[in-house]
Structure 1
Amino acid sequence: MRPSLSRRVPAPESPNRLMTAFRNLRSSGSRRLIHLVETNPTRCGFSYDEVGIRRAAADAGILQYRPDPKGSLDARLAVQSYYRDCGVEVHPDRILLTSSTSEAYSFLFKLLCDPGDQVLIPKPSYPLFDVLARLDDISLAAYPLTYRHETGWHINLDSLYDAIGHRCRAVILVHPNNPTGSYVRATELDVLEAHCERFGLSLIIDEVFLDFGANSKDMSQRSTCAGRNRVPTFILSGLSKICGLPQIKLGWIVASGPSDITDELTERLEWISDAYLSVSASAQAAASHLIRHRKHFQRQVRMRIEENLQTLAEEGLVPLRGNVYKREGGWYALIRLESALSDEELACRLLEEVHVFVHPGYFYDIEAEDPVVVLSLLCEPEVFREGVRRMVGFLGQWAVGSRQETEGQKIRR
Structure 2
Amino acid sequence: MSSNRLQTRARLSEVRYEIRGELARRARDLECQGRTLIKLNIGNPGAFGFRAPEHLQRAITEGISGTDPYTHQQGLPAAREAIAAFHRDRGTDVTADQVFIGNGVSELIDLSLRALLNPGDEVLLPSPDYPLWSASTILNDGRPVYYTCTPENAFMPDPAEIEALITPRTRAIVLINPNNPTGATYPRALLEQIVDTAARHGLLLMCDEIYDSILYDGATFQPLAPLAGDVPCLSFGGLSKVHRACGWRVGWAVLSGDRARTGDFHHAMDLLGALRLCSNVPGQLAIDAALHGADTISALCAPGGRLHAARQAVIEGVAASAHMQLVAPGGSMFAFPAVVGAAAVGFDDHAFALELLETEDVLVVPGSSFNVAYRNHFRITLLPEAAQLAEVFRRIERVLDRSAERGRAVQAEADAEPASRVAVA
Same fold (TM over 0.5): yes
Residue 232 of structure 1 and its aligned partner are, at CA, apart by 0.7
Paired position in structure 2 for 1:345: 351
- Name the aligned partner's letter for residue 10 of structure 2: R
**How far apart, in 1, do the equivalents of 2:406 and 2:117 lie?**
54
In the alignment, which residue of structure 1 is the partner of 2:240? Answer: 240
Name the counterpart of 1:280.
280
- Cα deviation per residue 1:83-104 (whole Å; 9 max; x = unaligned)? 3554555322221212221221
After TM superposition, list the pairs within 5 Å mapping 1:15-164 onto structure 2: 18-19=23-24, 21-31=26-36, 33-49=37-53, 53=57, 56-57=60-61, 59=63, 62-63=66-67, 65=69, 67-84=71-88, 86=90, 88=92, 90-148=94-152, 152-164=154-166
One-letter amino acid of the counterpart of residue 138, structure 1:
G
1:331-373 Cα offsets, whole Å, 9 max, x none, are: 11121222122222222222222222222211113344x7222
Structure 1 portions without partners, runs of 5+: none
Aligned to 1:371: 376
1:360 aligns with 2:360: no
Deviations 1:78-132 (A, max 9, x none): 2234335545553222212122212211222132222221111111111222321
The one-letter amino acid of 1:30's match is R
> Contact 2:104–2:250 (CA<8 Å) still a contact in 1?
yes
Question: Secondary structure, in 3 states, of the residue corresponding to 1:29?
Answer: coil
Deviation, structure 1 residue 145: 1.1
SS in 1 for 2:313: helix
Once the 2 structures are TM-superposed, how far is the Cα of residue 42 of structure 1 from its aligned partner? 0.6
SS at match of 2:66: helix
CA gap of 1:326–1:386, structure 2 versus 1, over 3 A, is closer
The whole-number CA distance in structure 2 between the counterparts of 1:183 and 1:268 is 31
Counterparts in 2 of 1:66 and 1:358: CA distance versus 1, 3 Å: closer
Is the CA contact (8 Å cut-off) linking 2:70 and 2:278 kept in structure 1? no
Mapped contact 1:301–1:378 kept (Cα < 8 A):
no
Structure 2 CA distance for aligned equivalents of residues 141 and 337 of structure 1: 26
Per the alignment, in what secondary structure is the counterpart of residue 350 of structure 2?
helix
Q: CA deviation at 1:49?
A: 4.2
Q: Percent identity, please.
A: 24
The alpha-carbon deviation at position 298 of structure 1 amounts to 5.2
Code of the aligned partner of 2:46: T
Match of 1:7 in 2: 10
Contact 1:347 1:360 in 2 (8 A): yes
Task: State the superposition RMSD in angstroms.
Answer: 3.2
CA distance in 1, matches of 2:175, 2:147: 10
- Partner of 2:80, secondary structure, is helix
CA contact (8 A) 2:235 2:253 kept: yes
- Partner of 1:382 in structure 2? 387
Q: Tell me how far apart the structure 1 counterparts of residues 47 and 150 of structure 2 sit (CA, whole Å).
A: 33
- Measured in 2, the distance between the counterparts of 1:117 and 1:405 equals 44
The one of 301, 320, 327 aligned to 1:325 = 327
Aligned to 1:231: 231
- In the superposition, relative to structure 1, how do residues 78 and 124 fare at CA in structure 2: closer, same or farther (>3 Å)? same
How far off is 1:35 after superposition? 1.9
Q: How big is the shift at 1:173?
A: 0.9
Distance 1:280 1:344, change over 3 A: closer
Match for 1:215: what amino acid? D
Q: How many residues align?
A: 404
Q: 1:405 to 1:225 in 2, by over 3 A?
A: closer
- In the alignment, the residues of structure 1 paired with residue 241 and residue 309 of structure 2 have an alpha-carbon distance, to the nearest angstrom, of 19
Deviation by residue 1:27-72 (Cα, 9 ceiling, x = unmatched): 22312x2223342111111244458615524515525636323211
CA distance in 2, matches of 1:313, 1:109: 36
